[in-house]
Structure 1
Amino acid sequence: MKTILVVLDGLNFQVARDAMGYLHAECAQGNGQRYQITCELPSLSRPLYECILTGIRPVKSGIIHNGVSRLSTQQSIFHYAREGGLTTAAAAYHWVSELYNRTPFVPARDRHTADSDLPIQYGHFYSDDVYPDSHLFEDAESLRLNHQPDFLLIHPMNIDDTGHKHGFSSPQYRNRARMADGYLSQWMPEWLRQGYQVIVTADHGMNDDRSHGGTLPEETQVPLFVFGSAFSLREDAAPKQTELCGTVCQILGVQHDKPVCAPLLRSGELA
């Protein structure tokens, strides 16, 4: 099943619970379910991109801070999908390109990627944290329409950027989350109509020191929303961040060796 993974960088669970009206409306209609998960440590971006996409904790992957700039040594969703003959794409921050395609990131070469031999075959990558989320979702939809990827990663940065400027308790941070929810409301109904499985989550949260990296609940508690026929919608599924890679691979129908959150999936079909 074709799958879209949306990683809303820096989105705390409480803010997602309170601010994401469209996503909750879809859940209320029986189209999805919301869960709370605890991110791995340290609660930093690059280590958790790697965790989400490979299922490997930062202390094991070696991607333990944002300055570790090298290709991943792990198998990611992109690798498994390509080995299974599927098409991959990403509209994402340039660190994702550095982890799975090429490093260092060279904008003239890597910003717009179309290379069937790379793990991420088609990509629009940005390197400025203020790159508008509205543009990023448009980039993603362009990839979807032009390349029909089986797996598409969408990774906007404005929630995290606003949190670093104003803090967890600020109206600016909450309103930026509302804006992301609004962008999803523009694009997600069509994805669901076309049968995509959609996962919306975050790498980490944000604290009132305008940072993250530690163990505070506001830094580590993040949302996971799931939508589509692949999911059981059980309230007690209790997924882990390290299980997202394997669960996505299971939905895609490709071979993998990663842990799966079986209760998250519809019984008897995928798990």
Structure 2
Amino acid sequence: MSAAMKEPGQWESGLANSMNVSPCRAVLFASTSLYALAIFIFLTGFLSVSILDGFQRISKSAATGSVSEEAVEPHENSARRDRIVTAGKDHLDKVVIFLIDALRLDFVTGNTSGLTLLHQRLRDGSAKGFLARARTPTVTLPRLKALTTGAIPNFAEVITNFGTHTSVKDNFVEQLDKAGLRTVFHGDDTWLRMFPKAFVRSEGVSSFYVNDYTEVDFNVTRNVHTELLRDDWDVMILHYLGLDHIGHLWGPHSTLVPQKLRYYDYILEEIFSYLRSFAGKSLLVVLGDHGMTDAGSHGGTSSSEIDTPMVFLSPQFSVTNDSRSQTGTEEVALPVIDQVDLASTISVLMDTPIPRDNIGVVILPVVAEMLNSSTATRRAVCSLANQLKTKLPHRLIHERLTISQKLHCEPNDYNQDIKMTEELLEICKEAAENLSAASSDYGMFSMLSALVLLAILTAVFLHTFLQLWPSFFVECPNAVLLLTVFHVFSLCGSSFVEEEHQLWYYWVPLSYAVLLVQTLKSCPGYGNQAGRLGMMFVLHRVLREWNRTGDKWAHLPDVGDWIRQ
């Protein structure tokens, strides 16, 4: 009877407990759902993309130095089209852009460089070399967009790098087409997806067959030989992938790298010989889109990833005989520019409009020598300043207008003309730096709202969690709690994120040691258990030495290197 009387009470108690637990579980479920919503709101602000519609157009008054620019809608491609601006004598006749994917700076400036043509000409001063600093993310699509638009893409481009779509920003490639110039392309098919109608001839190669580092380059070179026999193109763009593939497979210190660089050097010699025999003004630009780490990867912010060479060669360049012309074992030192400066420089040299989103500046040493006219150089810099003026702070606008008035209204001799041009370019550089710092067009309201919501949800989650499992922290070992907290805080530093495996290298054997001690204390007769844990210690050490990963110590020899040798 008494047992029968207890059953309703027990049932009521169980019902009460389940009723108390159910709201907590509902709160946890709602909090988890809102977490996903908050992360989505944060990403909409963090990965926002700002695009100016239309393409830039320059009025015919640009020939006199007074530049008027406006946006026009993009139109369909045709085989040949008249230039928007009538070309004068101050423009190039042929340009070859030779892009080597993942070309590190030391592959050109190092005293053991396989690119003999570039290295020798940089030393004797007959080439204009620069350290072109890229921005993160250092993957192919964002770097190509930066090079062609003169703008700085954001981290949303990492996602679209795996599903490349047609470029919607103003860029110098399509501006060449709209100006009636004929452009041919051979190489990474990312270009063809970005600019499907900008090339009169093209052949793409896939960038995702990483194991192929030979045929992927031969297919480009085969077309180079064909193009050099023809004379119907104005600009030729080449994008070689073999070096990047070798880096991903074997790293930058592989014996395959010097062989590949010598192969590129042979192609560059052939192209430059063709340009020397060409009667008009010509230019060869050799550059990388990004570098690579000592492990052969890229995408981060290390100097080996963001510092890339950009070298300009032309038969019209004179030998400067500066300090770099002396032979020696030291590396060639190059002045620093921004990678986005290429777009405005190519636009000026080819007498086409500077892309609307451009925040780069013209590379004055190249422009001044190629145009070979102080008036043309001044006009180029004034065009850039005019293109940037709507984005400049008021103080910079005032300085720009003052110098511009002196350039256009006062009679100046050649030396003063160059000096004023350099002063105006310095203002443009200052403006470009400010615009570059502000170019990450984040949606701050969305990001801050999401962070506040995440903080509230975290407090609610912890409060509910402690109500459901009040004994959790009592039952959980202190060592596990300490390591968990330490691991969370270690992720606040980028270096710890890059080398997170180093923490696990110590955490795993520490866990084995704790288990070994507990086994020996609780089960002194089970020696085989201790032996198994000891074997796990040995295997862990072997696996650690099998293949070194990360960013800072990946270059050290390991078991995998010994097996490959």
Q: Which runs of structure 2 are paired with 1:49-128 in the superposition (5 Å)?
A: 49-59=144-154, 62-65=156-159, 66-101=161-196, 118-127=197-206, 128=209
State the match for 2:103 in structure 1. 11
Residue aligning to 1:138: 222
1:81/1:219 CA distance change after superposition, 3 Å: same
SS of residue matched to 1:266 = helix
For 2:299 and 2:150, how far apart are their aligned partners in 1? 19
Alpha-carbon separation, structure 1, partners of 2:303 and 2:254: 16
Structure 2 contact 341–363 (Cα < 8 Å) conserved: no
In 1, the alpha carbon distance for the partners of 2:267 and 2:305 equals: 24
Q: Letter of the 1:263 partner, please give it.
A: L
Contact 2:132 2:308 in 1 (8 A): yes
SS at match of 1:209: coil
Deviation at 1:218, TM superposition (A): 1.2
Matched positions, count: 254
Q: Shift of the alpha carbon at 1:56?
A: 1.9
Match of 1:32 in 2: 127
Alpha-carbon RMSD: 2.5
- Pair 1:263 & 2:364 matched: yes
Q: Which has the higher Rg, Structure 1 or Structure 2?
A: 2
CA distance in structure 1 between the partners assigned to 2:277 and 2:231 by the alignment: 18
Residues 239, 261 of structure 1: 8 Å contact kept: no
Conserved 8 A contact 1:230-1:266: no
More helix by share: 2
Query: Which structure 2 segments of 5+ residues have no match?
Result: 1-91, 323-332, 381-565
CA distance in structure 2 between the aligned counterparts of 1:187 and 1:147, rounded to whole angstroms: 13
Hey, what's the Cα distance between the residues in 2 that align with 1:188 and 1:164?
A: 29
Percentage identity across aligned positions? 19
Distance 1:99 1:69 in 2: 7
Q: Which moved more, 1:230-239 or 1:121-130?
A: 230-239
Q: Secondary structure at the match of 1:146?
A: coil
Q: Is the 8 A contact 1:90 1:140 kept in 2?
A: no
Q: Give the residue type in structure 2 aligned to 1:122.
A: R
* SS state at 1:64 partner: helix
Q: Secondary structure at the match of 2:107?
A: helix
Q: Cα gap change, 1:169/1:15 in structure 2, threshold over 3 Å: closer, same or farther?
A: same
Mapping for residues 197-216 of structure 1, pairs under 5 Å: 197-216=283-302
Q: Which has the higher strand share?
A: 1
Q: Which amino acid aligns with 2:132?
A: I
Q: 1:262 to 1:183 in 2, by over 3 A?
A: closer
1:187 maps to a residue whose letter is I
2:240 partner amino acid: P
Give, in angstroms, the shift of residue 27 of structure 1: 3.4
Spell out, residue by residue over 1:115-141, the C-alpha distance to the aligned partner (whole angstroms, 9 max, x if none): xxx212211211155334244123134
- Structure 1: where are the runs of 5+ without partners? 102-117
TM-score (ref. length: structure 1): 0.84
Does the 8 Å CA contact 1:237/1:261 hold for their aligned counterparts? no
Q: Distance in 2 between matches of 1:31 and 1:142?
A: 28
Quote the Cα distance in structure 1 between the aligned partners of 2:352 and 2:222: 28
CA deviations 1:245-269 (Å, max 9, x no partner) are 1111111111224333242321623
- Residues 53 and 141 (structure 1), Cα distance of their counterparts in 2 relative to 1, 3 Å cut: farther
- Asked whether 1:193 is paired with 2:295, we answer no
Higher relative contact order, structure no. (Cα contacts within 8 Å, ≥ 6 residues apart): 1
The Cα offsets for residues 45-93 of structure 1, whole Å up to 9 and x where unpaired, read as 1211121122121218x53342142111112222111111111111121
- SS of aligned partner of 2:361: coil
* Stretch moving more, 203-212 or 187-196: 187-196
Q: Where does residue 150 of structure 1 map in the other structure?
A: 234
Q: Cα distance 1:16–1:237, how it changes in 2: closer, same or farther (>3 A)?
A: closer
Q: 1:228 aligns with which of 314, 322, 328?
A: 314
TM-score normalised per structure 2: 0.42
